[in-house]
Amino acid sequence: MSGTGRLSGKKAMVTGSGTGIGREVALEFARQGADVVLHYAHSDKGAKTAVSEIEAMGRRAAAFKANFDVVDEVVALGESALEFLGGMDCLVNNAGITFNKPFLKVTREQFDQMYHVNIRAQFFLTQRIVAHMEGHGGGSICNLTSIHGVQGAPEHSVYAGTKGAIIAYTRSLAVELAHKNIRVNAIAPGWVTVDNYYNVLPGFNLEDAKKDAYEKVPVGRYGLPIDIARLAVFLCSDDAGYIIGQTIVADGGTTSLMSLISDFRNESAAQFGKNYLPGI
């Protein structure tokens, strides 16, 4: 592979990259010239096939397992990645879990595990990588959050809390590290169709999903992992050198649409301003 691409010569790690968004981010980083460490928590199948694809591009890659409910494994993951890559320029914190449950039925164990995996693990992994970046010219960090961090949905109080925490932590950490040439930003994806939808949504199929997305998402479609992967590449590249502490929402216009508006494709029949504005 030629030495071209936005991330040519960079060394990167993407957590939660055995499936879905994380796997596509890892692949796109390699397409853009980076060597990549992938992380997985359970099955290694997706991560290892991605490693093979990356190696076929002429880039270096490896996959490491870590349970993000255990801080020691998180820190060890960071050490393994740094050793394999010989340093790190980009860290994409994608790993996370989700669940929905009525507020009054959430247990302490469920609450703890969500915060341990979604925010505590990310915090201490980033801490280890930043310690390296400080002494090696800086780097870029991209945290994956969610539109659940900026909008409300019933039965998601715990999950949304972790995603809101990522947004706040990203902003604060970014201003602490910017003068050290370490940039921190986040991405908040909206509806992005991934393999797990088939596992958790009864009867899920692409044909119905396309129709549903056309009706509900202003852009007329659901998101794809590559949409998020390309944004992550940009945020970790030198092209985004003046972007600090931002959470970029990538949701096809979902959060921009006022929830009271149901038919956003046709001209409204209501005439607000009648009798007191010209031409109304």
CA 180 – CA 132 distance, rounded (Å):
12
Look at residue 107 and tell me if it is in a domain: yes
Residue 1 is predicted with a pLDDT of 45
Look at residue 257 and tell me if it is in a domain: no
CB contact at 8 A, 142 and 236: yes
Look at residue 211 and tell me if it is in a domain: yes
Q: How many C-beta atoms surround the C-beta of residue 69 within 10 A? A: 16
H/E segment holding residue 83:
helix 71-85
Look at residue 260 and tell me if it is in a domain: no
H/E segment holding residue 91:
strand 90-93
Look at residue 256 and tell me if it is in a domain: no
Q: Which domain holds residue 108?
A: 11-250
H/E segment holding residue 36:
strand 35-40
Look at residue 122 and tell me if it is in a domain: yes
pTM: 0.94
Q: Structural domain tally of the chain?
A: 1
Look at residue 272 and tell me if it is in a domain: no
Output Rg (C-alpha) for the chain, integer angstroms. Answer: 20
Distance from first CA to last CA of the chain, Å, rounded? 61
Look at residue 70 and tell me if it is in a domain: yes
CA 60 – CA 97 distance, rounded (Å):
28
Query: Which whole-number Å values give the CA distances from 108 to 103, 105, 125, 158, in the listed order?
Result: 11, 10, 24, 11
Cβ burial, residue 150 (10 Å; 0-12/13-18/19+):
middle
Give the active site residues: 159
CA 62 – CA 33 distance, rounded (Å):
15
What CATH code is carried by the domain that includes residue 16?
3.40.50.720
Residues of the chain under the 50 pLDDT cut: 1-2
Phi, psi of 14, deg, nearest 5 = -125, 120
Residue 2 is predicted with a pLDDT of 46
